[in-house]
Structure 1
Amino acid sequence: MTPFPPAEPRPPRPLLTEPRPLGPLLAELRSARGWSQQRVAAELCAASGVPTLTRHEVSRWERHRRLPGDFWSGWLAVVLGVPGELLAAAAAHSRRLGVVPAVVDRAGSRSRVALLTLAHRWAADPSGASLGGPLTGHALAAPGGAPQLAEHGAETRATDRLPLDGRRTGHALAAPGRAAPGGAACELLAGRAAETAALAELRHWDDLLGGADLAGHGTRRLRRAARGFAVAGPAGRRRLLPVLAESAQLAGWLAADAGDLAGGLDAYRLALRAAVAVADRGLAGHVLGSASHLLAGIGDPPGALTLARIGYAGCRDAASPGLRALLLHRVALAAALAGRTRAARQALAAAERTGGPGPGREPPWLYWLDEAELAAMTGRTLVALGRPGPAVPLLTPVARGRGGPRRAAVYGGWLARAHLQLGDVAGACAVAGEALLDAVRSGSPRAVGQLTEVRRRLAAHRDEPAARRYAGLLAGARPYLPRGAAGRPVAAGSHRPPSKPGHGGTTRPAGTG
């Protein structure tokens, strides 16, 4: 990859002296030259010698869907004829604003702000006293209202909005045709071990199936735990808190994988409250790391970086080696996507120093993390940093591995992008074609999103035979690809898992939350 040359210092125009967000600034500089976004992309490709940038990426920069990294920021300064310091200051201003991406709707924006606010409160007061007062059902309700837990593909019911308020009666929380939750609380208290085992089973099913199939199961399990908690006494609540926290974290992960942004963030908010209330700092950090992963995936690296850093800082003294490594990788990816190259490299180096998962020292919900997964996470961040060479050998074993179709599809998308950055269009299309089959097998809208991004980046090579073949393959597979909350809702639960996973504990991990 050609390094960008230092831009010659030039006096900025008077209208650009005030700090401004980067997106509007880039649009104004482009318009002043009378250029289209296509022209800017072409100039950047010609100047840098990297032919993979398209007008869609320029559009994302201007609309604040993404910030350019150091590499493209340097070339933007050269092509647009402005000092590099001007663009760096504008990018820093954009990060301070914490701009919400255009893909975040109103409900998702509210959920994002509520979770960020709660995370900052936890960072300021790790005891959790500022998260809602005494430990009651009401205290676990999120600021401004309880989390939305609507089932995917099902009609809204009276229990879709869980107040978790101890003052509500059992009849007020009972669903039509079901027993009052007082019995549910007793049943949960009596069978806490069985409930924990059921959660573990659902996590193992997440190795094989995507959120489109499992999100409804996660939501129903969280409703069950929340109803039992809301009507239990103080002693019962203390015993049920771990189940509630883990149920909410898993429900958030599954909702996020199904493309339900607001549902995932709301469940994570509940999970954070419950984890802090039970004094499980490791799980609280993992919840924020999972939420960071969600925001990074929908194009909100500033929010993702904030959550990942708070999660790591809040639990690093109590976290296992594997959890510390995982959270540092969350920080690294968010920093890379935000254009914070130095911060991303520092986080990667720190993750490497942790040494990876410690045998017998990891929490049960982190069973899926192994050295191969951590290596692939490093490769993914290197791709985001524009360093595809060392990323390819790290991503290839996981992208072409067997046993975890979603994991193979997600990392296969990143591997295809690495090949594209290297100028290997045929190799990128071959990898993306394999990942497409895994996306069909997994039923994960998140995996489909990765391949959609690859298809977008292939637009600059639409005339090449390999790109045309991949476009045809994607068009043919589209009826079989899952669509979650971002598209037409998928009826979760339409594919009900059997009573036991077919592969039990031998299933290879697929990046479970």
Structure 2
Amino acid sequence: MTPTPHAGPLLLGPLLTQLRLARGWSQQRTAAELCAAAGVPTLSRHEISRWERQVRVPGDFWLRWLAVVLAAPVALLTDAAARARRLARPPVGPAAGARSRAALLALAQRWLADPRAALLVPAPGRLTASDAPGVGSGRHPGWPSVGAAPPGGPSPRSRPGPAPGVDLAGLRRLDDLAGGVDLAPFGADRLRRVVRALPRSGPAGRRRLLPVLAESAQLAGWLAADAGDLAGGLDAYRLGLRAAAAAGDPALAGHLLGSASHLLAGAGDPQGALLLARTGYAGSRRWASPGLRALLLHRVALAAALGGQPDAARQALGAADRVAGAPEPEREPPWLYWLDGPELAAMTGRALVALGRPRRAEALLDAAREPGRPRRAAIYGGWLARGYLQLGEVELACDVAGVALLDAVRAGSPRAVTQLTEVRRRLAAHRRAPAVRRHSALVTAARPYLPRPAPPAKTGRGPPGRAAQPILAGIRAPTGPASVLA
């Protein structure tokens, strides 16, 4: 039997939500009980919401009163708060990215408690602007309004490339050829169109659109991540997780969490990546296809290896090998059409390099650098170059990194460039070597042509969330165990 990677104890946000709901209380009632017990009249339901979403972590004063009011051991709450604080300040991204990360981590653990049940919502049946990034407001640079010009170009109708109405499968396959800088505006536009179609749909239409919304959010998040937009990618994945749960599709929900894990791992946050990957696997493996289980185990392996947990990484790699065998794309969901034997082998090679075992990784990564897939070649070429550096083969590392750099230019993928930036950092220890000097000259020549990450989201004025108003008024979540739209 394949072992289940342990998702770990609850963070404080999901724990407070569970304790509150066990007593049948709203956030307003919880705030009132805390005010009465502590003799402090200024605590509002908004602060309870921030604690549950892990935008903030309460201090010792409120933790003690929470223990009293919710009849929970104070040690349980303080331990959960300590875990939340360790995850609250990741070594990645601006403040907006940190808030998006905290909200997704909290939502993921709420989903894990029961992947087939409704997620808890502050306003049943409504999506808010904070849940659907950029919809309606158009304030996020990575999420243009419908019909608006994508950043840096003409309108989608006149710009070469995919039209706004391109079907989801076509946009996925374009992602094999072009990078997130070019495609992220179209993925965001498609997501917005699906969200705006929901109010005009009856119950049957909503049931049909929810899986489309979840898949559109997954692809939009992937494209935003490839464009270097951390907050936009995480927010899209959070919206997709809600939609997948509402559609009763734990497998797709697990895939969304695995995608978010991959984003955090690449952004230098292995701890958050490992939590999301383990949560996604634990919550979806009963419903997941063999390929998806293998993919999620690879997400666990990479995050564990990057986070300094070699035993957990090796265990996950072994489990992935036993689960996958030879992947059969026709038996996998359509959103996993790209997962095949060479891709899984390259993922194994990447994890082996992260584990410091480059000799076994060499052939696996070299085979992944196939022509016609420039981003894949650039990313796995970067990992191969890191492996050669571990072996002391500096000249080979520079040769491979140079080819990968040109592939990154062709791909238009800031994510691929980030991988090669790490290679250049490691080459600095060999700066006097002629091969390194030649590679530095190539980087200087290529720099004007390298894709640049998307600019960070503007936070606007006032406290976060104050401007977030319901954007889909009147949309009620579908009834039954899978209802979760908010």
Q: TM-score, normalised by structure 1?
A: 0.66
Which residue in 1 is equivalent to 2:98?
A: 109
The answer to whether residue 75 in structure 2 is matched with residue 100 in structure 1 is no
Report how far residue 158 of structure 1 moved: 3.5
With over 3 angstroms needed to count, the CA separation of the structure-2 counterparts of 1:110 and 1:94, relative to structure 1, is: closer
Give the match for residue 293 of structure 1: 262
Residue correspondence of structure 1 range 263-274 to structure 2 within 5 A: 263-274=232-243
Distance across 2 between alignment mates of 1:278 and 1:309: 22
Counterpart of 1:461 (choices 423, 430, 434) is: 430
C-alpha distance in structure 2 between counterparts of 1:335 and 1:234, whole Å: 42
Give 1:146's match in structure 2, choosing from 123, 131, 137: 131
Within 5 Å, give how 1:115-126 maps onto structure 2.
115-126=104-115
| Of 346, 352, 355, the match for 1:376 | 346
Deviation at 1:293, TM superposition (A): 0.1
After TM superposition, list the pairs within 5 Å mapping 1:7-156 onto structure 2: 97-98=86-87, 100-132=89-121, 136=125, 138=126, 140-141=127-128, 145-149=130-134
Using the TM superposition, give the Cα deviation of residue 134 of structure 1 relative to its aligned residue in structure 2, in angstroms.
9.1
Q: 1:482 deviation in Å?
A: 0.2
Q: Structure 1: which 5+ residue stretches go unaligned?
A: 1-92, 151-156, 162-173, 178-193, 490-513
The Cα shift of 1:129 comes to 1.9
Q: What percent of counterpart residues are identical?
A: 66
Shift of 1:196: 10
Instruction: Sort the Cα spacing of 1:410 and 1:287 in 2 relative to 1 into closer, same or farther, 3 A.
Output: same
Across the aligned residues of Structure 1 and Structure 2, the Cα RMSD in angstroms comes to 2.6
Change (3 A) 1:223 1:196: closer
Deviations 1:159-199 (A, max 9, x none): 558xxxxxxxxxxxx9699xxxxxxxxxxxxxxxx999700
Matches for 1:168-247 after TM superposition, within 5 Å: 198-247=167-216
Tell me how far apart the structure 1 counterparts of residues 457 and 104 of structure 2 sit (CA, whole Å).
26
Inter-partner Cα distance in structure 1 for 2:326 and 2:257? 20
More contact order relative to length (CA 8 Å, sep ≥ 6): 2
Q: Which residue of 2 aligns with 1:326?
A: 295
CA offsets per residue over residues 30-70 of structure 1, 9 Å max, x none? xxxxxxxxxxxxxxxxxxxxxxxxxxxxxxxxxxxxxxxxx
In structure 1, the partner of 2:8 is: none
SS in 1 for 2:443: helix
Quickly say closer, same or farther: Cα 1:246–1:176, change in 2 above 3 A: closer
Whether 1:365 aligns to 2:354 is: no
1:376-415 counterparts in 2 under 5 A? 376-399=346-369, 401-415=370-384
CA distance in 1 between counterparts of 2:263 and 2:360 reads 25
Deviation at 1:280, TM superposition (A): 1.0
Does the CA-based 8 Å contact 1:99-1:302 persist in structure 2?
Answer: no
Sort the Cα spacing of 1:348 and 1:486 in 2 relative to 1 into closer, same or farther, 3 A: farther
Task: Check conservation: 1:229, 1:237, Cα contact below 8 A.
Answer: yes
User: 1:8-37 deviations in whole A, cap 9, x for unaligned?
Assistant: xxxxxxxxxxxxxxxxxxxxxxxxxxxxxx
- CA displacement, residues 96-155 of structure 1 (integer Å, 9 cap, x when unaligned): 82363333211000000000000000011222323328973x1x448xx333237xxxxx
Range moving further from structure 2, 353-362 or 295-304: 353-362
Q: How far did 1:95 drift?
A: 10
2:295 maps to a residue whose letter is: L
Q: CA deviation at 1:353?
A: 0.2
CA deviations on 1:448-471 (whole Å, 9 max, x unpaired) are: 001111000000000000000000
CA distance in 2: counterparts of 1:158 and 1:119, whole angstroms: 26
Q: For residue 158 of structure 1, what is the aligned residue in structure 2?
A: 137
Task: Give the 3 Å change call, closer, same or farther, for CA 470–175 of structure 1 in structure 2.
Answer: closer
The answer on 1:480 being equivalent to 2:454 is no
Query: Is the 1:321–1:356 Cα contact (8 Å) retained in structure 2?
Result: no
Size of the alignment, in residue pairs? 358
The one-letter code of the counterpart of 2:343 is E
2:109 partner amino acid:
H
Q: 1:410 to 1:176 in 2, by over 3 A?
A: closer
* Alpha-carbon separation, structure 2, partners of 1:113 and 1:196: 33
Report whether the alignment pairs 1:305 with 2:274.
yes
Q: Deviation string for 1:469-505 (max 9, x for gaps)?
A: 000001100000000225899xxxxxxxxxxxxxxxx
Secondary structure, counterpart of 1:357 in structure 2 = coil
Residue 358 of structure 1 and its aligned partner are, at CA, apart by 2.9
